[in-house]
Amino acid sequence: MLSVTNLRKTYGSGDQAVEAIRDMTLTVDKGEFVCIVGPSGAGKTTMLRCLCGLLKPSSGTVTLDGAPVTGPPKEIASVFQDYSRSLMPWFTVRRNVGLPLRNRYRSTADRAERVGTALDAVGLSGFGDRYPWQLSGGMQQRVAIARGLAYAPEILLLDEPFASVDAQTRADLEDLILRVRDDTGVTMLLVTHDIDEAVYLADRVVVMSARPSVVLETVEVDLPRPRDQVTTKRLPRFAELRTHVLTLIRRTALDGSAPTPDHHSTIGERR
Protein backbone atom coordinates (compact mmCIF):
# COMPACT_ATOMS: atom_id res chain seq x y z
CA MET A 1 0.00 0.00 0.00
CA LEU A 2 1.28 3.42 -0.99
CA SER A 3 0.37 6.11 1.44
CA VAL A 4 0.84 9.87 1.16
CA THR A 5 0.20 11.98 4.25
CA ASN A 6 0.03 15.79 4.29
CA LEU A 7 2.55 16.04 1.49
CA ARG A 8 3.75 19.58 0.83
CA LYS A 9 6.30 20.71 -1.73
CA THR A 10 7.71 24.21 -2.12
CA TYR A 11 10.33 25.16 -4.69
CA GLY A 12 12.82 27.89 -3.94
CA SER A 13 12.88 29.91 -0.75
CA GLY A 14 12.01 33.34 0.64
CA ASP A 15 10.13 35.70 -1.68
CA GLN A 16 10.77 33.50 -4.70
CA ALA A 17 9.24 30.41 -3.09
CA VAL A 18 6.61 28.67 -5.19
CA GLU A 19 4.21 26.39 -3.40
CA ALA A 20 3.48 23.59 -5.86
CA ILE A 21 1.65 21.26 -3.49
CA ARG A 22 0.06 22.52 -0.30
CA ASP A 23 -1.46 19.42 1.21
CA MET A 24 -2.03 16.05 -0.40
CA THR A 25 -3.20 12.97 1.45
CA LEU A 26 -4.09 9.81 -0.38
CA THR A 27 -3.64 6.07 -0.26
CA VAL A 28 -3.37 3.58 -3.07
CA ASP A 29 -4.26 0.01 -2.16
CA LYS A 30 -2.68 -3.08 -3.64
CA GLY A 31 -4.10 -3.88 -7.06
CA GLU A 32 -5.97 -0.60 -7.35
CA PHE A 33 -6.04 1.62 -10.42
CA VAL A 34 -5.92 5.23 -9.26
CA CYS A 35 -5.86 8.23 -11.59
CA ILE A 36 -4.81 11.69 -10.47
CA VAL A 37 -6.33 14.51 -12.52
CA GLY A 38 -5.91 18.22 -12.14
CA PRO A 39 -5.75 21.39 -14.20
CA SER A 40 -2.47 22.06 -16.00
CA GLY A 41 0.22 23.36 -13.69
CA ALA A 42 -1.37 21.65 -10.69
CA GLY A 43 1.85 20.00 -9.54
CA LYS A 44 0.84 16.55 -10.80
CA THR A 45 4.34 15.69 -11.97
CA THR A 46 5.84 17.09 -8.74
CA MET A 47 3.53 14.75 -6.87
CA LEU A 48 4.68 11.70 -8.86
CA ARG A 49 8.33 12.66 -8.47
CA CYS A 50 7.83 12.73 -4.71
CA LEU A 51 6.12 9.34 -4.83
CA CYS A 52 8.90 7.59 -6.73
CA GLY A 53 11.62 9.03 -4.52
CA LEU A 54 13.14 11.41 -7.09
CA LEU A 55 12.10 14.48 -5.11
CA LYS A 56 12.14 15.11 -1.39
CA PRO A 57 8.87 16.55 -0.06
CA SER A 58 9.14 19.83 1.91
CA SER A 59 7.01 18.22 4.58
CA GLY A 60 4.70 15.26 4.98
CA THR A 61 5.47 11.61 4.36
CA VAL A 62 5.34 9.04 1.60
CA THR A 63 5.33 5.45 2.80
CA LEU A 64 5.30 2.19 0.91
CA ASP A 65 3.95 -0.76 2.92
CA GLY A 66 4.73 1.24 6.04
CA ALA A 67 8.34 2.08 5.17
CA PRO A 68 9.19 5.71 4.35
CA VAL A 69 10.28 6.38 0.77
CA THR A 70 13.66 8.16 0.81
CA GLY A 71 14.98 7.21 -2.63
CA PRO A 72 13.66 5.32 -5.66
CA PRO A 73 12.16 2.10 -4.20
CA LYS A 74 12.64 -1.13 -6.12
CA GLU A 75 8.90 -1.86 -5.83
CA ILE A 76 8.05 1.13 -8.03
CA ALA A 77 8.59 1.47 -11.79
CA SER A 78 7.80 4.58 -13.82
CA VAL A 79 6.58 5.34 -17.32
CA PHE A 80 7.39 8.91 -18.32
CA GLN A 81 5.44 11.13 -20.69
CA ASP A 82 8.37 11.80 -22.96
CA TYR A 83 9.29 8.35 -24.25
CA SER A 84 11.81 9.74 -26.72
CA ARG A 85 13.89 11.10 -23.84
CA SER A 86 13.21 8.31 -21.37
CA LEU A 87 14.23 5.50 -23.73
CA MET A 88 17.93 5.44 -24.50
CA PRO A 89 18.55 5.88 -28.22
CA TRP A 90 21.94 4.17 -28.01
CA PHE A 91 20.40 0.88 -26.87
CA THR A 92 18.14 -1.50 -28.76
CA VAL A 93 14.59 -2.13 -27.55
CA ARG A 94 15.75 -5.33 -25.86
CA ARG A 95 18.58 -3.61 -23.99
CA ASN A 96 16.33 -0.73 -22.96
CA VAL A 97 13.81 -3.12 -21.46
CA GLY A 98 16.51 -5.29 -19.90
CA LEU A 99 18.63 -2.45 -18.50
CA PRO A 100 16.96 -2.19 -15.06
CA LEU A 101 17.10 -5.98 -14.64
CA ARG A 102 20.88 -6.13 -14.35
CA ASN A 103 20.82 -5.58 -10.62
CA ARG A 104 17.94 -7.94 -10.02
CA TYR A 105 18.59 -11.07 -12.02
CA ARG A 106 22.06 -12.55 -12.18
CA SER A 107 21.59 -14.92 -15.08
CA THR A 108 21.46 -13.65 -18.65
CA ALA A 109 18.85 -16.29 -19.51
CA ASP A 110 16.53 -15.11 -16.74
CA ARG A 111 16.83 -11.54 -17.94
CA ALA A 112 16.25 -12.49 -21.57
CA GLU A 113 13.14 -14.43 -20.57
CA ARG A 114 11.71 -11.53 -18.56
CA VAL A 115 12.41 -9.10 -21.39
CA GLY A 116 10.73 -11.48 -23.85
CA THR A 117 7.64 -11.83 -21.65
CA ALA A 118 7.37 -8.06 -21.19
CA LEU A 119 7.70 -7.40 -24.93
CA ASP A 120 5.05 -10.07 -25.59
CA ALA A 121 2.72 -8.37 -23.12
CA VAL A 122 2.84 -5.11 -25.06
CA GLY A 123 2.72 -6.79 -28.47
CA LEU A 124 6.28 -6.03 -29.54
CA SER A 125 7.76 -9.54 -29.68
CA GLY A 126 9.46 -9.06 -33.04
CA PHE A 127 11.01 -5.68 -32.30
CA GLY A 128 13.71 -6.47 -29.72
CA ASP A 129 16.59 -5.76 -32.06
CA ARG A 130 15.25 -2.45 -33.34
CA TYR A 131 16.27 0.89 -31.90
CA PRO A 132 13.53 2.95 -30.20
CA TRP A 133 13.81 5.73 -32.78
CA GLN A 134 13.01 3.27 -35.54
CA LEU A 135 9.54 2.78 -34.02
CA SER A 136 6.41 4.95 -34.00
CA GLY A 137 5.55 7.04 -30.94
CA GLY A 138 2.92 4.58 -29.74
CA MET A 139 5.33 1.67 -30.08
CA GLN A 140 8.02 3.57 -28.20
CA GLN A 141 5.66 4.17 -25.32
CA ARG A 142 4.86 0.44 -25.36
CA VAL A 143 8.59 -0.23 -25.02
CA ALA A 144 8.62 2.08 -21.98
CA ILE A 145 5.64 0.20 -20.53
CA ALA A 146 7.39 -3.12 -21.18
CA ARG A 147 10.46 -1.81 -19.36
CA GLY A 148 8.26 -0.94 -16.39
CA LEU A 149 6.64 -4.37 -16.42
CA ALA A 150 9.92 -6.28 -16.78
CA TYR A 151 11.05 -4.60 -13.56
CA ALA A 152 8.23 -6.58 -11.88
CA PRO A 153 7.07 -3.68 -9.72
CA GLU A 154 4.27 -3.67 -7.18
CA ILE A 155 3.30 -0.23 -8.40
CA LEU A 156 3.58 1.26 -11.86
CA LEU A 157 3.57 5.07 -11.91
CA LEU A 158 2.54 6.60 -15.21
CA ASP A 159 3.11 10.32 -15.76
CA GLU A 160 0.81 11.54 -18.57
CA PRO A 161 1.91 8.47 -20.53
CA PHE A 162 -0.38 9.01 -23.52
CA ALA A 163 -0.15 12.78 -23.85
CA SER A 164 2.28 12.67 -26.78
CA VAL A 165 0.48 10.19 -29.06
CA ASP A 166 -2.47 10.57 -31.43
CA ALA A 167 -6.06 9.85 -30.34
CA GLN A 168 -6.34 6.37 -31.88
CA THR A 169 -3.01 5.23 -30.41
CA ARG A 170 -4.04 6.71 -27.07
CA ALA A 171 -7.20 4.56 -26.99
CA ASP A 172 -5.17 1.46 -27.91
CA LEU A 173 -2.62 2.17 -25.18
CA GLU A 174 -5.35 2.76 -22.59
CA ASP A 175 -6.78 -0.67 -23.37
CA LEU A 176 -3.29 -2.17 -23.31
CA ILE A 177 -2.76 -0.79 -19.81
CA LEU A 178 -6.12 -2.19 -18.63
CA ARG A 179 -5.25 -5.61 -20.05
CA VAL A 180 -1.80 -5.55 -18.44
CA ARG A 181 -3.39 -4.66 -15.12
CA ASP A 182 -5.81 -7.58 -15.42
CA ASP A 183 -3.00 -9.98 -16.37
CA THR A 184 -0.44 -8.94 -13.79
CA GLY A 185 -2.46 -7.39 -10.95
CA VAL A 186 0.09 -4.59 -10.68
CA THR A 187 -1.09 -1.45 -8.87
CA MET A 188 -1.43 1.48 -11.25
CA LEU A 189 -1.14 5.15 -10.41
CA LEU A 190 -1.64 7.29 -13.49
CA VAL A 191 -1.43 11.07 -13.71
CA THR A 192 -3.32 12.77 -16.51
CA HIS A 193 -5.07 15.99 -17.43
CA ASP A 194 -7.54 14.05 -19.58
CA ILE A 195 -10.75 13.56 -17.59
CA ASP A 196 -12.29 10.95 -19.93
CA GLU A 197 -9.11 8.93 -19.70
CA ALA A 198 -9.08 9.09 -15.91
CA VAL A 199 -12.71 8.02 -15.54
CA TYR A 200 -12.35 5.31 -18.19
CA LEU A 201 -9.31 3.70 -16.57
CA ALA A 202 -9.62 4.21 -12.83
CA ASP A 203 -11.17 2.57 -9.81
CA ARG A 204 -10.77 5.93 -8.13
CA VAL A 205 -10.08 9.38 -9.49
CA VAL A 206 -8.22 11.81 -7.22
CA VAL A 207 -9.03 15.37 -8.30
CA MET A 208 -6.32 17.93 -7.56
CA SER A 209 -6.92 21.66 -7.25
CA ALA A 210 -4.95 24.33 -9.08
CA ARG A 211 -1.63 25.34 -7.50
CA PRO A 212 -1.00 25.25 -4.57
CA SER A 213 -2.56 21.83 -4.86
CA VAL A 214 -4.82 20.04 -2.42
CA VAL A 215 -7.05 17.01 -2.97
CA LEU A 216 -10.45 18.41 -3.97
CA GLU A 217 -12.28 15.14 -3.99
CA THR A 218 -11.75 11.45 -4.46
CA VAL A 219 -14.33 10.09 -6.89
CA GLU A 220 -15.14 6.38 -6.73
CA VAL A 221 -15.62 5.06 -10.27
CA ASP A 222 -18.30 2.35 -10.10
CA LEU A 223 -18.30 1.55 -13.79
CA PRO A 224 -18.39 -2.17 -14.59
CA ARG A 225 -15.29 -4.02 -15.79
CA PRO A 226 -14.06 -5.05 -18.26
CA ARG A 227 -14.31 -1.61 -19.77
CA ASP A 228 -14.70 -0.89 -23.43
CA GLN A 229 -13.92 2.26 -25.39
CA VAL A 230 -17.37 2.26 -26.99
CA THR A 231 -19.83 0.67 -24.55
CA THR A 232 -18.33 2.02 -21.31
CA LYS A 233 -18.15 5.56 -22.62
CA ARG A 234 -21.80 5.30 -23.74
CA LEU A 235 -23.05 4.56 -20.22
CA PRO A 236 -25.05 7.35 -18.53
CA ARG A 237 -22.94 6.77 -15.41
CA PHE A 238 -19.76 7.51 -17.40
CA ALA A 239 -21.21 10.84 -18.50
CA GLU A 240 -22.28 11.64 -14.94
CA LEU A 241 -18.83 10.92 -13.52
CA ARG A 242 -16.94 12.82 -16.18
CA THR A 243 -19.26 15.81 -15.83
CA HIS A 244 -18.73 15.78 -12.09
CA VAL A 245 -14.93 15.69 -12.39
CA LEU A 246 -14.96 18.26 -15.19
CA THR A 247 -17.04 20.65 -13.06
CA LEU A 248 -14.59 20.34 -10.18
CA ILE A 249 -11.61 20.99 -12.42
CA ARG A 250 -13.14 23.89 -14.30
CA ARG A 251 -14.07 25.56 -11.04
CA THR A 252 -10.61 25.20 -9.54
CA ALA A 253 -8.92 26.24 -12.79
CA LEU A 254 -11.07 29.36 -13.05
CA ASP A 255 -11.10 30.76 -9.53
CA GLY A 256 -7.85 29.13 -8.44
CA SER A 257 -9.11 28.57 -4.92
CA ALA A 258 -9.83 25.34 -3.15
CA PRO A 259 -13.52 24.59 -2.58
CA THR A 260 -14.82 22.30 0.15
CA PRO A 261 -12.49 19.35 0.43
CA ASP A 262 -13.67 15.79 0.85
CA HIS A 263 -13.12 13.68 3.94
CA HIS A 264 -9.81 12.29 2.65
CA SER A 265 -7.98 15.56 2.71
CA THR A 266 -7.10 18.15 5.26
CA ILE A 267 -6.50 21.74 4.32
CA GLY A 268 -4.46 23.81 6.68
CA GLU A 269 -5.44 27.16 5.31
CA ARG A 270 -8.51 28.21 3.35
CA ARG A 271 -9.67 31.35 1.70
Interacting residue ranges for other proteins, rule: CB under 8 A: 49, 52-54, 72, 74, 76-78, 80, 82, 85-86, 88-91, 99-100, 102-103, 130-131, 133-136, 147, 151
**DSSP secondary structure, the chain, as one string:** -EEEEEEEEEES-GGG-EEEEEEEEEEE-TT-EEEEE--TTSSHHHHHHHHTTSS--SEEEEEETTEE--S--TTEEEE-S-HHHHS-TTS-HHHHHHGGGTTT---HHHHHHHHHHHHHHTT-GGGTTS-GGGS-HHHHHHHHHHHHHHT--SEEEEESTTTTS-HHHHHHHHHHHHHHHHHH--EEEEEES-HHHHHHH-SEEEEEPSSSEEEEEEEE----SS--TTHHHHSHHHHHHHHHHHHHHHHHHHH-S-----TT---S---
User: Taking the complex as a whole, how short is the minimal distance between the CB of residue 45 and other proteins, in angstroms?
Assistant: 11
Q: Which is nearer to other proteins, 8 or 147 (CB)?
A: 147
Shortest separation between residue 151's beta carbon and other proteins, angstroms: 6
Residue nearer to other proteins on the CB measure, 47 or 216: 47
Q: How far is the CB of 200 from other proteins (least distance, A)?
A: 26
Q: How far is the CB of 123 from other proteins (least distance, A)?
A: 16
Q: How far is the CB of 88 from other proteins (least distance, A)?
A: 6
Closer by beta carbon to other proteins, 151 or else 238: 151
In the complex with other proteins, which residue's Cβ is closer, 108 or 247? 108
For the CB of residue 155, give the shortest distance to other proteins in the complex, in Å.
Answer: 12
Nearer to other proteins, 102 or 237 (CB): 102
Taking the least distance from each CB to other proteins, the nearer of 1 and 99 is 99
